[in-house]
Amino acid sequence: MTQQNQQSTLEKPVFWSIPPSALTFEELADKSAVLKQRLADISKRFSDVRFATSLAAEDMVITDAIAKASAKIKLFTLATGRLHQETVDMVKITEDHYGVVIEKVYPHESDVQAFIEQYGMNGFYDGEESKKACCGARKIKPLNAALLGADAWITGQRREQSTTRTELNLEELDDARGISKFNPLFDWSEADIWTYIKQEKTPIHPLHLKGYPSIGCEPCTRQVKKDEDIRAGRWWWLQSDSKECGLHVNK
């Protein structure tokens, strides 16, 4: 092996890192005010609004804004049973920091067992069908249960995140559940998110500091190399157009 090849073999990959701040204090103040007003307006329009938080960056921005706007919005998280320990720990960190309660919504044991019996514990690696089946048992069914009785729900989706979200709007109808759905960060950039987090001193998920721009279940999430798409680490073994779990797909 040549010296050049040895050096190439020893080189460590450079992973994604938190982008530098891109907004002035005044610009961030304006964006923050708009976000808080959006959340306040949503909570006034609807009697039962719920926010599904993954504890990752976008959702921490929304959580921070909900707390500071004193918006009447219930928080919950999908405790899939396959999350990183860091994500599990972030629930209590967030609750303690903001003085809020985050409901943990678990999958039904029978649904998980049915998936395992058909596909195997890690059968989601076999293809799109098995991946959707796992997400269905661990995420979609629990989400449906978590939203029973709600008349609106909130997500941390942004247009910039992926090709499947470029037409995202602030408000849409969730046809599958028959309720309104809001994406209050739809027009925010990645740099906007991180500028807010830095200036507002919002708690940061530890995996963001280790090259994970997007965080899901542990076996389905990996670090992303510098200049890769920010969702490249989600279900990386599938085609690039398969980066949704089904939570945000209508009928």
- For 208-234, the pLDDT digits (tens) are 999 999 999 999 999 999 989 888 999
Residue 190 lies in a domain: yes
Distance CA 245, CA 226 (A): 24
Distance CA 126, CA 135 (A): 14
The pLDDT confidence band at residue 11, using thresholds 50, 70 and 90, is confident
Residue 19 lies in a domain: no
Q: With H, G, I as helix, E, B as strand and everything else as coil, classify residue 15.
A: strand
Residue 177 is predicted with a pLDDT of 94
Mean confidence (pLDDT) of the chain: 91
Distance CA 66, CA 72 (A): 8
pLDDT in tens, 83-125: 999 999 999 999 999 999 999 999 999 999 999 999 999 999 9
Range of the domain at 184: 24-220
What pTM did the predictor assign? 0.90
Residue 4 is predicted with a pLDDT of 52
Residue 236 lies in a domain: no
Residue 207 lies in a domain: yes
Residue 231 lies in a domain: no
Of the listed ranges 68-72, 107-111, 123-127, 235-239, the one predicted with least confidence: 235-239
Exposure class string for 38-59: b at 16+ Cβ within 10 A, else e: bbbebbeebeebbbbbbbbbbb
CATH at residue 42:
3.40.50.620
pLDDT in tens, 37-69: 999 999 999 999 999 999 999 999 999 999 999
Residues 94 and 55 sit within 8 Å (Cβ to Cβ): yes
Instruction: Kindly list the catalytic residues.
Output: 245
Residue 15 lies in a domain: no
Residue 151 lies in a domain: yes
The secondary structure of 122-176 as a DSSP string is TGGGG-HHHHHHHHIIIIIHHHHHHTTT-SEEE----GGG-GGGTT--SEEEETT
Specify the residue for token string 């998920």. 205
Q: How many domains does the chain have?
A: 1
